[in-house]
Amino acid sequence: MRRQFSIARLGQRGEGVAPGADGPIYVPYALPGDVILAEIEGMRGRLVEVVAPSPDRIAPFCVHFGSCGGCAVQALAPRSYADWKRSLLVEALRHAGMEPEVGNLVDAHGRGRRRATFHARFDGGKPRVGFMRARAHELIDLDSCPILAPQMAGALAAAHALAAALRAAGKPLDISVTASLTGLDIDIKGHGPLGPAELQAAIEVAEAEDLARLSNDRRVIVARHAPIVKIGKAEVAPPPGAFLQATEAGEAALAAQVCETLADARRIADLFAGVGTFSLRLAERAPVHAVDDDEAALAALGKAARSAPGLRPVTIEKRDLFRRPLGDEELRRFDAVLFDPPRAGAEAQAAALAQSAVPLVVAISCSPQSLARDAALLVAGGYRLLSVTPFDQFRHSPHLECAGIFRRESTKPRRPLLG
């Protein structure tokens, strides 16, 4: 059914939202204040025409905007965009019963994304590589992406070449590309083990595209150069598929706040430490105990810590913090704790921290909802949420990085309820 109506607000996924007879209608690429013509099916709408544009509508800079689902809100004016992005965090905290000081949105896009995952699909043996259409299973074939950092310039060409080399199997692929100081580092997922011919074809692509390293499901196929990233004073060689912050500017901004907040700490625990994004910087001032379940990431962290000049001791511990969080007895060694978990958050560890006497806690999250849930546990246990800052390293998308600072107020922890 085709209808004309006005858009009232932006939803959490960056879609325009309008009231409907049976509930809200969500329309990708529509903005508050737009009068639009849309094809309606249930709660979903497809934008057909902007009949009267919002005063906040600006021209998008990417030719693929409106089809590619990678960017939701390129057409929203910067001030309104910043207000909407910050509101995602404000509303998540409010929903969890908290209204702390929320800082202004920090622009952490910098020169662009240094990592991206491209999808490859095959139609009659012909590969297509790019991102998915918004709320659809259709893939948009791309040859460029303007939100990528300059050092990712060859990423799409390499992804296309790898998809062509592996097209015989016809399996959907995820091709994760990370820029390093020594070249592109690529990890392929979805294909399974490579046969001899496919292996040779992949190696030839790595040579032709001058890749630093090529891996298949985190198993190295060829390492022409060790991929290196700079973290503080240290040079780190991450394992295949290792997590890094999406932009260099985002990592620097988060690390600056973490280091400033924990400047006076004498012994720090960095939980979900990964390859040492924060550990290696914090160790410039204080001993750090880094904990993670990824043995390869910890090995890279440890090697970098031993090689970097002037660092205080960095100890490492392999541990599944979801199943076995650090408890009160272990946490007594630290006067500050930082945790930066995956998107699902750190519910078990936050509950354990709430029962501890650690004076200062910093929580990093790429999900406002997860941060709000973990924050509620800490607050219920006697911590005060001093401030929260949103960092926008996922520009034009609904994804948001957040950092919360907590200080223990009550001397006797209260037992929070897990919900």
- Let me know: does 18 contact 1? Beta carbons within 8 Å: no
The residues facing 406 across adjacent strands are 361, 385
- Write the DSSP symbol of residue 76: B
Distance CA 276, CA 298 (A): 8
Distance CA 235, CA 113 (A): 20
- Let me know: does 384 contact 406? Beta carbons within 8 Å: yes
Structure token digits, residue 311: 């660092």
Secondary structure E strands in 217-321: 219-223, 229-231, 234-236, 268-271, 288-292, 314-318
Q: Please, how many CA atoms are within 13 Å of residue 142, restricted to the half-sphere of its CB? A: 31
Max alpha carbon distance in the chain (Å)? 67
Distance CA 43, CA 40 (A): 7
End-to-end CA distance of the chain: 41
At 374, give phi and psi (nearest 5°). Answer: -65, -40
Kindly list the distances between the CA atom of residue 189 and the CA atoms of 155, 176, 192, 193, in Å, as whole numbers in the listed order. Answer: 16, 8, 7, 10
- Let me know: does 27 contact 15? Beta carbons within 8 Å: yes
Strand 383-392 relative to strand 106-107: parallel, antiparallel, unpaired? parallel
Distance CA 65, CA 85 (A): 19
Could you list the active site residues? Answer: 366
Beta-carbon count within 10 A of 238 CB: 25
